[in-house]
Amino acid sequence: MEWIQQLINGISLGSIYALIALGYTMVYGIIKLINFAHGEVFMIGAFVGFYAIAGWGLGFFPALILAMAVCAVFGVLIERIAYRRLRNASRIAALITAIGLSLLIQYVVIYVRGAQPEAYPDALSNKTFDIFGVQISSQSILILSVSIVLMILLQFIVHRTKIGKAMRAVSHDMDAARLMGINVNTTISATFAIGSALAGAAGVFFGVYYTKIEPLMGIIPGLKAFVAAVLGGIGIIPGAMVGGLVLGVVETIVSALGYSLWRDAAAFIILILILLFRPSGIFGKNAREKV
């Protein structure tokens, strides 16, 4: 029974990673940029949700939508200000800019509101179901369902809509897409808007589920989501989902075996192993269309 409980624990942890990894992998899929500031957009989303619920008394769902909207605008701004000029620069320049941006956002937030943590209000009722001695909380079921729904929605947007078609075209060949009359800037802005809105949603769910939010909260989940995205095959949307869940379960198993202090190490050992032996990830096919 203890092991089933641990599996449930792992899936709830993994669905948080999956939620963050979806936005990560989407941005990478379109413009081949590892957006390290994604973890900070996640943090901003958590704080917007917090101030909306605790400060203005909004309910959970209005706060969630507000956080997603603010993050979408924020993501577009990040792309417009920091990444657009570097679109034709070397990839390492864009990567370093992303890391710099991530630090900048963290410390601006600390400067503005201080480094002290904040406790998320109870905006979403939480029930614990007891099934044959295994406890499952309604919040973790909700988070898992939200990640699955968002994954399906993303797949739909990318493969069945006009903007999705434009995204795939831009991802394939930016110049050819432009020649075909696709507005590349708008398409990339849309990609950032959607990816950042997902990060914002993940931030609010994280806040409700784990209660504590603080300006540096994006670092570790951001890195773990990156591992999850690589594990599933970076750029592949269902891969992010599966990668997140696998990572969550592996971490939980490591803790359950009594090596809790090795938990974070396990995540990064997975990253190294994947990069060494299967760089395209679980779902990756060699250098095919990646969206």
Partner 1 sequence: MFRKKITSVLMASALVAGVLAGCGGEKAGTEGSKDSGGGGDTIKIGANLELSGAVASYGQGIAEGIDLAVEEINNSGGVDGKKIEIIKVDNKSDAAEATNAAIKLTNQDKVTAIIGAATSGNSVAQAQIANDNKTILLSPSGTSPNVTVGTNGKVNEFVFRTSFIDPFQGTVAANFAAGDLNIKNAAIYADNASDYAKGLAASFKETFEAAGGKIVSEESYVAKDTDFRSILTRIKSANPEFIFIPGYYEEVGLIIKQAREMGITVPFMGADGWDSPILVDLAGAEALNNTFLTNHYSAQDPDETIQKFVTSFSKKYSGKSPDAFNALGYDSVYFLVDAMKRAGDTSDATKIKDALAETKDLSLVTGVVTVDEFHNPIKSATVLEHKDGKQVFKSKVNP
Interface residue with partner 1, options 5, 32, 184, 238 (CB under 8 A): 5
Q: Find out whether 196 and 74 touch, Cβ atoms under 8 Å.
A: yes
Residues in 40-99 at the binding interface with partner 1, rule: CB under 8 A: none
Q: Which is nearer to partner 1, 2 or 175 (CB)?
A: 2
Q: Does 211 bind partner 1 (CB under 8 A)?
A: yes
Selection from 236, 89, 98 nearest residue 168 by Cα? 236
Among 81, 119, 148, 272, which residue interacts with partner 1 (rule: CB under 8 A)?
A: 119
* Nearer to partner 1 among residue 182 and residue 213 (C-beta): 213
Nearest-approach distance from CB 196 to partner 1, in angstroms: 22
Residue 128 has φ and ψ, to the nearest 5°, of: -110, 125
Q: Is 220 in the site for partner 1 (CB under 8 A)?
A: yes
Distance, in Å, from the CA atom of 108 to the CA atom of 219, rounded to the nearest integer, reads: 15
- Residue 176's identity, in one-letter code, is A
* Ramachandran category for residue 133: left, alpha or beta (phi over 0 → left; psi -120 to 50 → alpha): left
Q: Give whole-number Cα distances, 97 to 75, 89, 215, in Å.
A: 14, 11, 20
Among the candidate windows 45-53, 171-179, 185-193, 210-218, which touches partner 1 by CB under 8 A?
210-218
Cβ at position 51, least distance to partner 1 in Å: 15
Residue 5 Cβ vs partner 1, minimum distance, rounded to whole Å: 5
Three-state secondary structure call for residue 226:
helix
Q: Which residues contact 71 (CB under 8 A, 6 or more apart)?
A: 41, 44, 45, 48, 196, 197, 199, 200, 203
Question: Which residue ranges make up the site for partner 1 (CB under 8 A)?
Answer: 2, 5-6, 9-10, 12-13, 116-117, 119, 122, 126, 128, 130, 135, 137, 210-212, 217, 220, 251-252, 255-256, 258, 260-261, 264
